[in-house]
Structure 1
């Protein structure tokens, strides 16, 4: 059974005003003092962000439970410092990001200028184990058309600097300002993948291998593929659903590779259009069908995804859980819909943030 781990980035906010607070350093210090051996929480690019990583899990219920536990622990540590954590992929309220001081982040700011300061955005990265780099590349080449669907499911960033952006996932539009971000062409072999990344680093445009910010890539630290398209999800259950679908996609792609089924290649230009459509509308309008790349209602595309990975979900025991998760998501909506509904009800972005603080912990 393939193992899965999840990394989530959370915003640190004032519990009353909802405004982001650059308190990552004291929150991390409190976590380290509370548990000197902890390896869960890490700093991020800005002081208003806190990252955690789960341990690898083979049971999706266990993974979902660990996501909830990590969120609650993050909230506890933040509360001791006088702030709160919230699973929002962008801040609804205006914010002036505070850069974390280290050599790497200073390099980013100096190299890329203003776009660096826009990167106060929170994502969810899913690591799924693979047997080898060759299997990993076979997987990356085959899951490409389905990644925009994961973007639409997770979309949780409709607001930016106090305004509605008209996007469901504005975080993705901000993230794609990095020169190495976005969809990739098929690589074919692990050797070609590594040669491409090495060549990118040699240009000097990116600092190192970790800055190959592809939508999905081989992890430089673990024997995994790392799927990086998702916004951090407001509901922990949605994060669990994303992780479940990621594992099923990886397993399905690996099986296709082992039976010599070739990878479809719709082209990066078409994948960029599909990704834009998913970011713009989330689940509220048509998505581009991953097979035909023509508009199709979002519920039908999500059910097509379940059908495509159905054998893998059944074999892992996740089929019923995934089907229920998708139907619940279609009924209640993703984080972008929930945030807009909260604003419509309260008329206040501050109230949106403070209500989402409570929903973050489930």
Structure 2
């Protein structure tokens, strides 16, 4: 594959621009966007750019497939700004926060499927107000996609550490950089996966999970990375929604490079790392707890290592792919900024320490979500 296209889905919170609480207005925001011109992307129209999510206090936005990092960056900024305008049109605002810092009792989006989920999963569904960043990358076949899934497993926790943006929950500091990940793990099919080996084995594993009757349907296969049901892509789902759009671009560039690196290794006959799934779960937990501020689990040695060393290992691993796409310099600059200034979780805590209260976190997120 000469050029792997990629795109992102981001989930945003819908907030009260004055009081810092949440607004259950996702349907109204989407309707406003469709009635007032939607998103100014050539050929995009309005369909599918904005979607509802499980809770009415959330809005999902989706880019089109992109071939270059500049194109993706432009779309993320454009769609975030359009979301901000549409939310403003119904008296709300959007905030790129992966959990809500203030106390909230979310309200379910009134669809048949979401009602079934609420009935089946009770408090897990009731409290599932989290916002992630999902990256789709094109693949040549399902077998290539599964080969990639098998080979990127140990490299996913650093992506969570870089993107962590959810330290607060229901008005309290959780002590975690990404509390979203802890909440997300309550779903029965979430988390890292074992080695599959082939598309047939992947499909058999999915079928076995559904046949237990625990999952409603295939849409509830919430693996950290999975084959898309509707597109010729794989979907990496570990990142928090990022406070800054530039961090979203960084995560997407690293993900595409990881996919390309893994596919190259597969074609060369290099076997995947047989690291156990329980170790991968520990590595993801460590990234959720510590972010970039403490040691992480090294993706090669699977032992404790400074976060800077782990991030350097990730960059080294994907450098040939980044170079091939012309993304290396941009990624190097964006990565340097995150390592210097910190992720979204660090910024949220810095605001709280300075202001002594949570509403300024929401106000800052509203400003930054609509920035370039």
Q: TM-score interval w.r.t. the shorter chain?
A: over 0.9
SS for the counterpart of 1:309 is: helix
SS for the counterpart of 2:237 is: strand
Task: Say yes or no: does 1:227 pair with 2:231.
Answer: no
Task: Say yes or no: does 1:284 pair with 2:286.
Answer: no
| Structure 1 residues without counterparts, runs of 5 or longer | none
Alpha-carbon shift at residue 28 of structure 1 (Å) = 1.1
* Aligned partner of 1:13 among 12, 15, 34: 15
Alpha-carbon shift at residue 155 of structure 1 (Å) = 0.3
SS for the counterpart of 1:357 is: helix
Aligned twin of 2:42: none
The equivalences for 1:1-362 within 5 A come to 1-35=3-37, 37-39=45-47, 40-362=49-371
Alpha-carbon shift at residue 35 of structure 1 (Å) = 3.4
Task: Give CA-to-partner distance per residue, 1:181-202, whole Å, 9 cap, x none.
Answer: 0000010000000111112111
Structure 1 residue ranges, 4+ long, deviating more than 3 angstroms after superposition? none
SS for the counterpart of 1:226 is: strand
Q: Distance in 1 between matches of 2:62 and 2:342?
A: 25
Q: Distance in 2 between matches of 1:360 and 1:3?
A: 24
TM-score where L is the length of structure 2: 0.96
Task: Give CA-to-partner distance per residue, 1:14-73, whole Å, 9 cap, x none.
Answer: 001111110111111111212384020000000100001000001101101110110000
SS for the counterpart of 1:291 is: coil
Matched-pair contact (CA < 8 Å) for 1:88–1:122: yes
Q: Distance in 1 between matches of 2:8 and 2:235?
A: 9
SS for the counterpart of 2:156 is: helix
Matched-pair contact (CA < 8 Å) for 1:346–1:352: no
| Structure 2 residues without counterparts, runs of 5 or longer | 39-44
TM-score where L is the length of structure 1: 0.99
Aligned twin of 2:41: none
SS for the counterpart of 1:92 is: coil
Alpha-carbon shift at residue 100 of structure 1 (Å) = 0.4
Q: Distance in 1 between matches of 2:23 and 2:293?
A: 32
SS for the counterpart of 2:359 is: helix
Q: Structure 1 residues 351-360 or 28-37, which shifts more?
A: 28-37
SS for the counterpart of 2:154 is: helix
Task: Give CA-to-partner distance per residue, 1:250-284, whole Å, 9 cap, x none.
Answer: 00000000000000021111001100000001000
Q: What is the aligned length?
A: 362
Q: Distance in 2 between matches of 1:325 and 1:190?
A: 35
